[in-house]
């Protein structure tokens, strides 16, 4: 039997973040897909293999877990340039969307085809057989509804295939994906693990370990507020809300289109405009640098008020809370607005991660810690000789 490889994958509403093996490879791909045809036109086809595969992901995905099977997609950067690009819609369940699975399978296939993994997986002609031990997660709301069990069972027990079509370097390769184990974690609990423990699950933040804390994870489509006490998530008090930043980003994108005639490819473009280090909240209009501060401030401040209302309501029900941490990509976008509101209103003890990458990658890092710990505890030494797992 071939080897199995650790994968920790956070299919975020804005982008997918994934960590593989011994922390030696990571992926960040916009969570955007677009249906396509098999022979997509490419200018300079002879130069295709000189390009970055991540800029031209073009795949056919086969899986019994998909509602629509054997469909051809552009994925990530390539999809953002399509007129028919789709991003996850507000109110949708991550565990029930084909898009979540397409993104997940594609990320694993992109890892499996790397030359560095030639000795890890078996390859017969143009077909690679890859096995993974997967750690991933779902919003708290979906886990509380029991959707994690169905999601996990979809992945286990079947072979899922990704065929690379007109993709740089990987054209014509097929990857058969199997899962030796799948662990689906609630996102709020994962955030807590990442806050207090290192990659070996040693406690690194003793100040927090026994505190009563809230973790408000603001995503694209939803917000989870985990209530932590006695080192565990209080499932009864933890709450999930259908409120994320995606609708606000779409509103900004639409208002820019109407006011300036500028078409932004995706929500990711809007995020870039409002978070970049230089010329923040500016776009180019007919070659002239133009401020869109009035649009972004108004829309994001309105969203921050709604997020603050969620915090206030949950804190009132958990009055002995000592601190709330804001995490996730949405907290990066809303940080300044939430700080302003808090200073002017209730003055709660809140904190953000100054390292934006740490906040955005928090879930993927947590899944990596948890799945690595599972492997350490459950793969017996005699089994490791037969079926090595790449882990720390």
- Tens of pLDDT, residue by residue over 132-167, are 999 999 888 888 889 999 999 999 989 999 999 989
DSSP tag of 55: G
For 21, other C-beta atoms within 10 Å of its C-beta total 19
- Tens of pLDDT, residue by residue over 318-357, are 999 999 989 888 888 899 999 999 999 989 999 987 677 7
**CA distance to 126, 242, 288, per residue, from 91 (Å):** 40, 6, 38
CA pair distance 7, 18, nearest whole angstrom: 7
Residue 367: inside a domain: yes
Helices 362-378 and 187-196 cross at an angle (nearest 10°) of 80
Domain that holds residue 32: 4-186+362-390
| Mean pLDDT (the chain, rounded) | 87
Res 45: pLDDT: 55
The CATH code of the domain that includes 128 is: 3.30.420.40
Residue 381 has pLDDT above 60, yes or no: no
> How does residue 193 score in pLDDT terms, banded at 50, 70 and 90?
confident
Res 47: pLDDT: 66
Are 78 and 85 spatial neighbours (Cβ–Cβ below 8 Å)?
no
Q: pTM for the whole thing? A: 0.84
Tell me the torsion sign for CA atoms 109, 115, 117, 122: positive
- Tens of pLDDT, residue by residue over 262-275, are 988 778 789 889 88
Res 388: pLDDT: 43
Residue 287 has pLDDT above 70, yes or no: yes
Residue 310 has pLDDT above 90, yes or no: yes
- Tens of pLDDT, residue by residue over 166-187, are 899 999 999 999 999 999 998 7
Residue 313: inside a domain: no
DSSP tag of 197: B
Q: What is the mean predicted confidence (pLDDT) over 123-132? A: 95
- Tens of pLDDT, residue by residue over 19-65, are 999 888 999 999 999 998 877 766 555 567 778 999 999 999 999 99
Residue 270: inside a domain: no
> How does residue 386 score in pLDDT terms, banded at 50, 70 and 90?
very low
Residue 164: inside a domain: yes
Residue 196: inside a domain: no
Domains in the chain, number: 1
Residue 25: inside a domain: yes
């Amino acid at each position: 039997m071939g080897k199995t490889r650790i994968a920790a994958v956070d299919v975020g509403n804005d982008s997918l973040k994934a960590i593989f093996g011994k922390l030696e490879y990571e992926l960040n791909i916009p969570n955007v897909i677009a249906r396509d045809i098999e022979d997509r036109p490419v200018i300079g086809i002879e130069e295709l293999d000189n390009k970055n595969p991540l800029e031209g992901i073009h795949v056919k995905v086969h899986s019994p877990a998909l509602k629509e099977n054997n469909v051809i997609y552009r994925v990530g950067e390539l999809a953002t340039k399509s007129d028919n690009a789709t991003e996850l819609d507000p109110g949708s369940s991550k565990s029930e969307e084909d898009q979540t699975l397409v993104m997940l399978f594609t990320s694993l296939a992109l890892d499996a085809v790397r030359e560095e993994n030639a000795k890890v997986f078996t390859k017969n002609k143009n077909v690679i057989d890859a096995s993974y031990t997967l750690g991933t997660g779902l919003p708290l709301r979906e886990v509380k509804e029991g959707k994690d069990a169905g999601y996990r069972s979809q992945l286990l027990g079947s072979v899922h295939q990704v065929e690379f079509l007109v993709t740089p370097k990987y054209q014509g390769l097929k990857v058969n994906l199997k899962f030796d184990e799948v662990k689906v974690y609630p996102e709020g609990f994962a955030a807590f693990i990442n806050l207090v423990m290192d990659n070996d699950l040693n406690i690194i933040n003793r100040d927090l370990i026994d505190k009563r804390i809230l973790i408000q994870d603001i995503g694209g489509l939803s917000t989870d507020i985990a209530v932590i006490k006695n080192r565990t998530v209080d499932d009864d008090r933890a709450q999930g809300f259908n409120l994320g930043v995606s609708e606000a980003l779409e509103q900004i994108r639409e208002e820019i289109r109407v006011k300036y005639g500028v078409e932004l490819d995706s929500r990711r473009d809007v995020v870039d405009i409002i978070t970049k280090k230089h010329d923040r909240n500016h776009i180019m209009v007919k070659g002239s640098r133009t401020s869109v501060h009035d649009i972004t401030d108004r829309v994001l401040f309105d969203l921050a008020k709604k997020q603050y209302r969620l915090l206030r309501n949950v804190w009132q029900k958990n009055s002995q809370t000592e601190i709330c941490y804001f995490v996730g990509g949405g907290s990066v976008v809303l940080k300044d607005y939430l700080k302003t509101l808090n200073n002017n209103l209730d003055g709660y003890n809140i904190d953000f991660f100054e390292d934006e990458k740490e906040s955005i990658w928090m879930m993927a890092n947590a899944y990596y810690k948890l799945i690595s710990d599972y492997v350490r505890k459950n793969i017996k030494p005699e089994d490791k000789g037969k079926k090595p797992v790449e882990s720390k």
